[in-house]
Amino acid sequence: MILTRHSQQQLMKYMSLDQKGKVMAEYVWIDSVGGVRSKTKTLPKPVKSVDELPEWNFDGSSTGQAPGDNSDVYIRPVAMFPDPFRKGDNILVLCETWDSDGTPNKFNYRHEAAKLMEAHADKHFWFGLEQEYTLLGPDGWPYGWPKGGYPGPQGPYYCGVGTGKVYCRDIVEAHYKACLYAGIKVSGINAEVMPSQWEYQVGPCEGIEMGDQLWMSRYILHRVAEEFGVKISFAPKPIPGDWNGAGLHTNVSTQEMREEGGLKAIEAAMKKLEARHHEHIAVYGEGNEERLTGRHETGSIEKFTYGVADRGGSVRIPRQVAKDGKGYFEDRRPASNADPYQVTGIIVETLCGGA
């Protein structure tokens, strides 16, 4: 909604009212289609840790997460963040979803991932995710593109500067600041190869924290874009043809890989990843086959390949890592819409075995 000057003043009058020590807690959960949902609970006073937060519930029949005749789904707080929208003592609360019979909801991928992270905590897995996404106008076409048409071919847009080369910088900047306020470990941002496509990186984060941080950063992105009337698409190939797709490059290391001579452990990991290529692809996002074509800086979906500084492989070992003989590797296969719990979970499982 575009506000007039008068209604802006009216809104400020109410938004600056004292909330009398109460706290607004925005409970956020992941729905059945990889989207986020949220609703607010008033708490009597500020909280210091997630253990102080009560369990809550929602109508799962309205989100495709439960049948109508047994519709209660429970939401259990697992992480909390300062709320960049309401500020003050107000918080964003990330939740796991649980069914009334005491088992994890079908779409609760965090529970399994957390068990794996816990079982292999001694390996000190670090992850860094590169979240690519596309900004769409209200008509569903990339923001700033000619109506029903295309901008000039790719080339000037990646890390672009200047009118006609970069779009939506205001939204991107707002999201960046909001994430930092919330304590999300955003490590950088850049404009991408396709116009109106952007990337931000989160990490390194250890273990389950990676999925928690990325999901909350996605929530914040949807919320910020909503205020500008812009839609966020995490589709891996939003525009067919000669336009880059969108990924969730997953950078990975264990303590052993980060220490002297760690390259050996990275190479051993390649063998393990190769053996379970198809199992990984199965959880690396929907519609990924349209993106992993072997063109546009991707490897083929059919076959696992890796190489130093190779952006056309499944996995890239950064040049600097090969030079130092230690560091991390980049799994380039996950699509932008992949669930970070599933991605980080299967990586730990493949490299270390089950929970």
Binding site residues, Mn ion, CB under 5 A: 130, 199, 249
Phi, psi of 224 (to 5 degrees): -65, -45
Interaction of residue 337 with ligand ADP, rule CB under 6 A: no
Question: How many residues at the interface with ligand ADP, by CB under 6 A?
Answer: 17
* Collapsed DSSP state (helix, strand, coil) of residue 319: helix
Strand pairing report for 248-253 and 329-331? antiparallel
CA distances from 334 to 9, 188, 233, 292, 314 (A): 45, 19, 15, 9, 9
Q: Which of 61, 71, 154, 187 binds ligand ADP (CB under 6 A)?
A: 187
CA distance 212 to 183: 12
CB of 105 vs ligand ADP, minimal distance in Å: 29
Considering beta carbons, is residue 120 or 291 the nearer one to Mn ion?
291
Interface mask (CB under 6 A) for ligand ADP, residues 199-218, using x and -?
--x-xx--------------
CB of 330 vs Mn ion, minimal distance in Å: 5
Interaction of residue 329 with ligand ADP, rule CB under 6 A: no
Q: Which of 126, 176, 304, 306 binds ligand ADP (CB under 6 A)?
A: 126
Considering beta carbons, is residue 66 or 335 the nearer one to ligand ADP?
335
Contact 133, 233 (CB under 8 A): yes
Inter-axis angle of helices 340-352 and 209-227, to 10 degrees? 160
Q: Which does 38 bind (CB under 5 to 8 A by kind): ligand ADP, Mn ion, none?
A: none
User: For the chain, what is the radius of gyration of the CA atoms?
Assistant: 21
Using CA atoms in the order 281, 286, 289, 294, what is the torsion angle rounded to 10 degrees?
-70
CB of 309 vs ligand ADP, minimal distance in Å: 10
Q: Which does 97 bind (CB under 5 to 8 A by kind): ligand ADP, Mn ion, none?
A: none
Strand pairing report for 91-99 and 23-30? parallel
Interaction of residue 132 with ligand ADP, rule CB under 6 A: no
Chain positions 244 to 263 lying near ligand ADP, rule: CB under 6 A, are 249, 251-253, 258
CB of 264 vs ligand ADP, minimal distance in Å: 16
CA distance 191 to 157: 7
Query: Rule CB under 6 A: which residues touch ligand ADP?
Result: 126-128, 130, 187-188, 201, 203-204, 249, 251-253, 258, 327-328, 330
